[in-house]
């Protein structure tokens, strides 16, 4: 965790400052400042547009009774993209702009979903050789056709 924080708060700002100084030396201070401000404005505008579209998609899937897992991950990536684009610098802007492309986000969403499934299975003690088994239900009683009252006991076989 320390390494990640060190990279975010020490290494990345040093890289950004070096790149801004190099670009400023090539094109001048005012054009460099204008580019940094324009990318922040453009990024915020695009993140807002795509964020609203993602929110609409989440609401549609929820109304249909589906789990909007892809849209939730996409929303988090758009939030990260917005933070990167508003942060002054060219390196963070490049990563932020990359996250605005649906194809790039799609690749990350698929990789992230595979990690979540494996992680969830690992934390619950399941392996690929042992498929998930529903707990055995005992003493199931149905009252008035609407309420199901029952007890169950999970018996893990080893």
* Rounded-to-integer distance, Cα 32 and Cα 54, Å: 32
* Rounded-to-integer distance, Cα 86 and Cα 37, Å: 8
* Rounded-to-integer distance, Cα 86 and Cα 36, Å: 9
Residue-wise pLDDT for 129-145, tens only, equals 444 444 454 554 545 55
CB 20 within 8 A of CB 32: yes
Residue-wise pLDDT for 54-65, tens only, equals 889 888 988 888
Residue-wise pLDDT for 109-121, tens only, equals 888 777 765 554 5
What predicted TM-score, i.e. pTM, was given to this entire model?
0.65
* Rounded-to-integer distance, Cα 50 and Cα 75, Å: 9
b/e map of 73-91 (b: 16 or more CB within 10 Å)? Answer: bbbebbeebbebbbbbbbb
């Amino acid at each position: 965790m320390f390494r990640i924080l060190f990279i975010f708060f020490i290494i990345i700002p040093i890289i950004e400052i070096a790149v801004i100084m190099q670009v400023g030396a090539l094109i001048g201070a005012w054009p460099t400042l204008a580019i940094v401000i324009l990318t922040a404005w453009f990024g915020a505008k695009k993140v807002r547009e795509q964020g609203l579209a993602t929110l609409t998609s989440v609401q549609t899937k929820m109304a249909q009774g589906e789990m909007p897992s892809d849209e939730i991950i996409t929303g988090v990536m758009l939030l990260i993209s917005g933070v990167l684009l508003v942060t002054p610098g060219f390196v963070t802007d490049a990563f932020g702009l990359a996250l605005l492309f649906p194809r790039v986000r799609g690749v990350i969403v698929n990789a992230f979903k595979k990690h979540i499934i494996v992680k969830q299975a690992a934390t619950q003690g399941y392996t690929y050789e042992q498929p998930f088994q529903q707990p055995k239900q005992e003493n199931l009683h149905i009252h008035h056709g609407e309420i199901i009252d029952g007890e169950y006991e999970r018996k893990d076989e080893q």
